[in-house]
């Protein structure tokens, strides 16, 4: 792959994950080539990679669209994430080092600061939430889990879930992180695994509720 193709891939992927290119949006090669500052050939190569990653889907007429996931699809992704992350938490509880626990505490504190700021800082929450889960995955010491989770976590609905959280959702997530920390300090694999299953399931329902609310809003707007 050329540098131009790599650059186009990164830019388009970021637009999909951020929501700048929303689910179901039609992909215009010419417009993307102009946005990315490349010719259409690198755009086609980039779209091929994104299609292989299931971020883009191609219609019977060979037109490309940002993948539009049904709620059933989303639930399956979160179920897989729950299986893998709970396994990672179980492994981590037996292997986690004192320094890794200290890093978890640091990210946990930063998440608390983000939530209880005068105006909740969602970006800081997202950043430190990602880092918190990253430490757990690192402590699990499993290249296979790391590889499998990398593909799942990069799905747009997983990437953007925290942006749908209510204040209560944010507080609940923070409390569950605290319980994960307690399980790791006790070196209790079963406890860590159980909390992580609950944590990921809660994340799915936060996404599902926001998804349903958006559908209702869209229908209401279309009827006006």
C-beta of residue 58 within 8 angstroms of C-beta of residue 119: no
Segment 58-74, tens digit of pLDDT: 888 878 888 877 788 88
> Which residues in the chain are classed under CATH 1.20.120.530?
71-223
- Average confidence score pLDDT of the chain: 87
Query: Is 64 in contact with 58 (CB distance < 8 Å)?
Result: yes
Give pLDDT, residue 85.
Answer: 96
30 sits in which H/E element: helix 29-36
What is the architecture of the domain spanning 3-66? Orthogonal Bundle (1.10)
Half-sphere exposure at residue 56, Cβ-oriented, CA atoms within 13 angstroms: 26
Instruction: Identify the pLDDT of residue 110.
Output: 97
215 confidence band (pLDDT: 50, 70, 90): low
- Indicate yes or no: pTM above 0.85: no
Q: Which long-range contacts (CB under 8 A, 24 or more apart) does 40-49 make?
A: 41/5, 42/2, 42/4, 42/5, 42/7, 42/8, 43/8, 43/12, 45/1, 45/2, 45/5, 45/8, 45/9, 46/5, 46/8, 46/9, 46/12, 47/12, 49/1, 49/9
216 pLDDT band (50/70/90 cuts)?
A: low
Question: pLDDT above 90 covers what percent of the chain?
Answer: 46
What is the reported pLDDT for 28? 86
CATH of 71-223, one of 3.90.1150.10, 1.20.120.530, 1.20.1530.20, 3.90.226.10: 1.20.120.530
Residue 87: count of CB within 10 angstroms of its CB: 18
pLDDT band of residue 159 (cuts 50, 70, 90) is low
pLDDT digits (tens, 9 = 90+) for 77-88: 899 999 999 999
pLDDT band at residue 157, thresholds of 50, 70 and 90? low
- Contact (CB, 8 A) for 12 and 47: yes
User: Which regions of the chain carry the CATH code 1.10.10.10?
Assistant: 3-66
CA pair distance 1, 38, nearest whole angstrom = 14
Decide if pLDDT at 131 tops 80. yes
Q: Is the pLDDT of residue 194 over 90?
A: yes
By the 8 A CB rule, do 8 and 38 touch? yes
Tens of pLDDT, residue by residue over 8-21, are: 888 998 888 777 88
Residue 139 in this model has a pLDDT that exceeds 80: yes
């Amino acid at each position: 792959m050329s540098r131009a193709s790599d650059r186009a891939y990164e830019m388009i992927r970021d637009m999909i994950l951020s929501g700048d290119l929303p689910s179901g949006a039609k992909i215009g090669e010419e417009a993307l080539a102009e946005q990315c500052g490349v010719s259409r050939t690198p755009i086609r190569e980039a779209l091929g990679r994104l299609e292989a990653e299931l971020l883009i889907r191609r219609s019977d007429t060979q037109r490309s669209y940002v993948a539009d996931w049904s709620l059933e699809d989303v639930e399956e992704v979160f179920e897989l994430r729950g299986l893998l992350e709970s396994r990672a938490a179980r492994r981590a509880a037996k292997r986690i080092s004192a320094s890794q626990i200290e890093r978890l505490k640091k990210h946990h504190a930063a998440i608390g600061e983000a939530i209880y700021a005068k105006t909740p800082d969602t970006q800081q929450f997202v950043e430190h939430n990602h880092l918190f889960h990253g430490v757990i995955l690192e402590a699990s010491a499993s290249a296979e889990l790391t590889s499998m989770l990398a593909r799942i976590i990069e799905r747009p609905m997983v990437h953007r879930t925290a942006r749908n959280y209510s204040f209560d959702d944010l507080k609940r997530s923070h409390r569950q992180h605290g319980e994960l920390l307690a399980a790791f300090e006790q070196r209790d694999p079963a406890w860590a695994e159980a909390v992580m299953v609950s944590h990921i399931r809660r994340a799915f329902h936060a996404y599902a509720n926001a998804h349903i609310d958006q559908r209702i809003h869209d229908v209401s707007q279309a009827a006006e």
